[in-house]
Amino acid sequence: MYRALNYWVFGGFGPNRTPFEFIDFARDQGLDGVELTFGDCLSESIDEAECRRIADYAKERGIGLRTLATGHYGAESLGAADEAERNRAVAFTRAYIRVASWIGARTILVVPGSTAVAWDPSRPVVPYGRCWEQSVKSIRELLPLAEELGVTLALENVWMRFLISPMEWKLFLDQFDSDRIGMYLDVGNCQLYVPARDYVEVLGTRIKAVHIKNWNGTDCGGGLHGFGDSLLEGDVDYRATFSALDRIGYDATFTAEMIPFSRLPDLVLPDPVLAEKVCAELRQLPQA
């Protein structure tokens, strides 16, 4: 089981820690890898030489850089109704793909679109059908570069009120005739609708990466506050999920992405105590 940690847990939302510090932390915690974030610890202006330097540093320390993530799509969506915004999101993703190829990451987290952003009421509401059309258009424009550079676009199930069920995901993904697209399954995010194991059973090998977090639906429908500060406390059935992944032969990444919204309005990241706690809990997860 390849265990990794997402940068936001360690470094927060911004360039508060360097990739080198994060790599050293992961080595000291006994992890297999880290998930660097484009637009935070990796600047959008980073060049190929610096990416190669980071990759060499990670290799020397035995730390994998298999995936990259970004929080950019909350502000600029690939499914935006506004064509200028959609074009900006496509341009951003092209740069993201190139950085992944330079640093040696074979998979990047991409948010396919949003009909609404729950935590940002200033963002426009987009009709579902329009979001679908624009998202498909964007991904078709991005796939040639992803295929050329050998980078997989792993679309994550986030709380953007778009692609709600595993059957929607299957229908959406299967319209693209490419091995360079699939799903980034977040086992906590999906709990509001359908258990993670059901996504695995429906989507099979379309799942290219896995985010680990937990969520607890403590009231009517639950909310962002259900994302706490423990991987082990919540509704996720890890044993069933890992068993389902084992049945499809999944052998890629398991990356903890802990943003404990239950702490709002007092949430502060980076949180070094939380980062160490998450690493310890990753080692305690039940095996399939």
Domains of the chain: 2-284 (3.20.20.150)
pLDDT at 118 over 90: no
Residue with the bigger pLDDT between 49 and 220: it is 49
Tell the burial category of 264 from Cβ atoms under 10 Å away from its Cβ (0-12, 13-18, 19+). exposed
DSSP of 123-172: SPP--HHHHHHHHHHHHHHHHHHHHHHT-EEEEE--SSSSS-SHHHHHHH
pTM comes to 0.95
CA dist., res. 39 & res. 178, Å (int):
27
pLDDT of 222 reads 67
pLDDT of 4 reads 97
**Residue the block writes with tokens 């697209």:** 181
pLDDT of 288 reads 46
For the segment 202-257, what is each residue's pLDDT rounded down to a tens digit?
999 999 999 999 988 876 566 777 888 899 999 999 999 999 999 999 999 999 99
pLDDT of 50 reads 98
Mean of pLDDT over the chain: 94
For the segment 139-191, what is each residue's pLDDT rounded down to a tens digit?
999 999 999 999 999 999 998 899 999 999 999 999 998 999 999 999 999 99
